[in-house]
Amino acid sequence: MEIAAIVSIALSNGGGEPPNWPDFVGIVLLLFVNSTISFIEERNAGNAVKALQASLAPEAKVKHNGEWKVLEASDLVPGDIINLKLGDVVPADGRVIAVHGQLLMDQAALTGESLPVKKEVGDEILSGVVCKQGEAQAIVIGTGKYSFMGKTIGLVGSQDDTAHLQRVMGRIGMFCICWIAVFIIAQILVMYVGFRYEYRRGMNNLIVALVGGVPTAMPTVLTVTLALGARQLSKQKAIVTHVSVVEELAAVTILCSDKTGTLTLNKLVIDRQTLKQYSDIEPDDIIHYAAMASRTEHQDAIDACITEAFGDIKKIREGIEELHFKPFNPIDKRTAITYRTISDGKVHRISKGMSRIILELCTRDKTEELIEQLQNDVNEFAERGLRSLAVAIEDVPSGDVDGIGNGFKLIGLLPIYDPSRNDTKETIDRAIELGVKVKMVTGDQLAIAKETGRRLGIGDNMFLSKVLKDGPPQGSVYQDIDDLILHADGFAGVYPEHKYEIVERLQNMGHMIAMTGDGVNDAPALKKANVGIAVADASDAARSAADIVLTEPGLSVVIEAILSARKIFQCMRNYSVYTSSMTVHLLVGYSVLLFAFQFDFPSFMLLVLTLLNNATMMTISKDRVDPSPYPTRWLLSDVFVHASVYGIYSAILTVTFFIIIIKTSFFQDKFGVEKIQYRSLDGPNPGWNDPVLNSIIYLQSSVMSQALIFITRSRTFFFLDRPSFMLIFAFTIAQIIATVIAVYANWGFASVTGCGWTWAGIVWIWNIIWFFPFDLIKSALAAYFEPKKKLVSEEILQSQPSTPEQRIRRKHMIAAQKESSSSVQRRSSTSSDERNSTVEDSIVEAVGKYFSPHTNHLSTPQYQRRSLARRLAGKNDNFCGVSTDPDDLKRFSSVQTRHASKLLKAREKRFEDRATSF
């Protein structure tokens, strides 16, 4: 557009005429409007990010000149003395120089460990850990990039921050430039070599080609769309650090997640369902005994989980008198309480701790069977990633606090684990339904990772991080490390460099990766991932490396973000097809009219057309669209082919309409309009250049060009997918203005004269009649491109965890996607390979058919469209107009899964001799 402005003011002189000031002013105004809107929206989106970053500045209590002061952590230097107390986050690497009480530090943000670690004088503490117990003073030994946190972030170095969207926009722009270049060269040759045009007349036509071909509003519309998407995410408690990540989130195919604090709560709880009893004492009473042997104040993680499992902490020691309490220490590895019951005055003793230690204490009812049973239970817990805590009791007949008891008796074994968040299971289910594979990448033990994976439905096909170096285990089905990483459900015992390598290898395989995390150890992978997501209460390192920062606990907002991103992506894709189609339409249509009839369309009227189009297209960012049921990424061949076909068809309509006007008397005979006058070749501008004809062609191009957006925005018939009110309103206002201009304008400087209402009515009738075939063209193109769009999704879904329920849901989704991508392009989903499928596939297909009436809507283009009347009534308040019913999604991921499992088991009995287990 800048070139067009220069041409209009500097190169259009000649023939005794002044520079083309109207065109110059119009082009500058168009550029100014686009730039202003883009700047405002980008600034608004960035304000939320700045506000978040301002709230993240950590502080530290520092001793300066003998006085304690509070400073920002960024002002610390090596040698400073800092004070740490309960709840403080260590602001820099340091060495403990004084301790008051037992000092316990929570290193979950660094190592993923759930239990705090004891620190003593001389021990090193790292930035990012949290003081859980005691108070200490430390001397700073490392800050900034020289701290552990800084070195961890430095693992990723500087990443290529060129947004994927910018590269896509560049390719779409190059597509338009190629069309412009071809037709400008052709116009120069035809006008100056063939027609011998005067210099000024030829330059005016070149301005038309430049103005009509350049997608001036594309950066603005896409920026506004992304900015509004970022603003919508902020309302959902997710702050984006740069708006282009919204587009990348729509294409995510694999979600890598840390376990501690992300999938789980990072706190310990007792698993009541697997608690082991070794006497007739009830499970609730065993927990009560363990709670009595726990601290009720200044608790560690173990005591806290036990007292919470009991309930009301005030009732734990109700009715007893504490005589002596022995706290936990690393040597004895147990706690004990001696108490007297107030009701009868008898003295009892309870001890809880490590199973081996407690078993050694036990002397009463201790048999070989009990010893073997306890060992088996401990091993079972260990295999499942559960920590074991044994509980034993004894009576003290003497009633003396130091008296000898009658012998400890083992009464129970408590399984302790780090539970998942309340919404994590549902979040993972929804991610799988959306075609996003979930992998757990954690620093915890392999057994714990597998148990967590089983509980959450991720799967237990997990490996230790050493396989990244050693390769696939011997005898495994994986061909190489890439194959293992792709199909593994997760990895355990990983360090930052391992997470980084996993993300990098998956990216090299062509996947778009999202990584969630909260600790310092997540920062490298967060930075490397296409979309890094820092969950609530994440460390400063994780937040600084992430693209999205969640401001409330839970992962449900991640799924909402993916859905919103796919809506935004669909809006951007729709506009890209539309604006590219306009380039082809105007270049081909006006060039053919120029070559065939020496028709010089006024460049100023094209500016008016472009300005009205751009104003209307600004509303597309708030249009209601259907999110794709699978990951969406730019398939530029799809965009370019659609744009070329739509553009050429539109150009044919314009040229055909022009020919009917000048070569026939059809409109004169049917509607009584006047014949368009032909200027002889002897005039100053030979050819068909009547001012009334200019107004007619302007109106025809304006109406058809803007109406095209209703074709590109929907996947099915345009009238089945109601657009947003804002888009309809903007289109209506723009076309009223365009029609009034065409009817009444008498602008000599623009070579237009009002055509009257009769011609305006003819134009509208013509465009309406020939608008409907666009849907047939769209259906034909969709039949070719939709399978390509689904290919990646099917590969991802088929590589999901291999639990029976998920395999049923997975294959059913794929079948549903193949069967019904839209009502206008229904194709058979049965191939020869499927007809020869295994018994396993037959069972799954039967399950899919059983639930097909209830779940097809989740993967069709009419996603959750209840009825045409409901959609036309606009009963939808969701952003971008998508009706995504959480209850339907929940029902799909739970109720149907259970029913499908039951049906599968029933059919397995019938095929027991032929089918292996799922």
As annotated, the active-site residues are: 258
Residues 6+ apart with CB under 8 A from 873: none
CA atoms within 13 A on the CB side of 248: 27
Sign of the dihedral defined by the CA atoms of residues 239, 242, 248, 254, in that order? negative
Write out the two tokens for 216: 């001036």
Give residue 864's identity as a one-letter amino acid code: Q
228: Cβ contacts below 8 Å, ≥ 6 apart: 41, 568, 621, 622
Q: Which residues, including other chains, have CB under 8 Å from residue 194's CB and lie 6 or more apart?
A: none
Place of tokens 């309103």: 729
d(CA 696, CA 606): 13
Contacts of 241 (CB under 8 A, 6+ apart): 49, 546, 547, 548, 549
> For the purposes of burial, counting CB atoms within 10 Å of the CB of 746, is it exposed (0-12), middle (13-18) or buried (19 or more)?
exposed
| CA angle in degrees (0–180, nearest 5) for 636-642-643 | 90
Q: How far is the C-alpha of 509 from the C-alpha of 527, rounded, in Å? A: 18
CA distance linking residue 517 with residue 477, whole number of Å: 30
Other beta carbons within 10 angstroms of residue 385's beta carbon come to: 23
Nearest of 714, 906, 736 to residue 824 by alpha carbon: 714
Dist. CA 337–CA 333, nearest whole Å: 14
Sorted by sequence, the CB contacts under 8 Å of residue 902 that are 6+ apart come out as none
| Residue tagged 């751009």 (tokens) | 614
Helices (H), 490-602: 496-508, 523-528, 540-545, 556-597
Q: Amino acid identity of 525?
A: A
Cβ contacts of 596 within 8 Å, gap of 6 or more? 655
For residues 714 and 822, the answer to whether their CB atoms sit within 8 Å is: no
Among the residues of 820-883, which ranges form H helices? 832-835, 839-855, 868-872
Collect all residues with Cβ–Cβ distance below 8 Å to 264 and sequence separation of at least 6: 418, 419, 420, 421, 424, 452
Q: Rounded to the nearest 5°, which phi and psi values hold at 82?
A: -115, 150
Q: For residues 186 and 180, what is the distance between their CA atoms, to the nearest angstrom?
A: 10
- Measured CA to CA, the distance from residue 712 to residue 700 in angstroms comes to 19
SS3 assignment for 434-466: CCCEEEEECCCCHHHHHHHHHHHCCCCCEEECC
- Tokens representing 250? 């729509």
CA 694 to chain centre: 48
Contact in structure between 818 and 658 (CB atoms under 8 Å): no
CA angle centred on 208, ends 207 and 213, rounded to 5°: 100
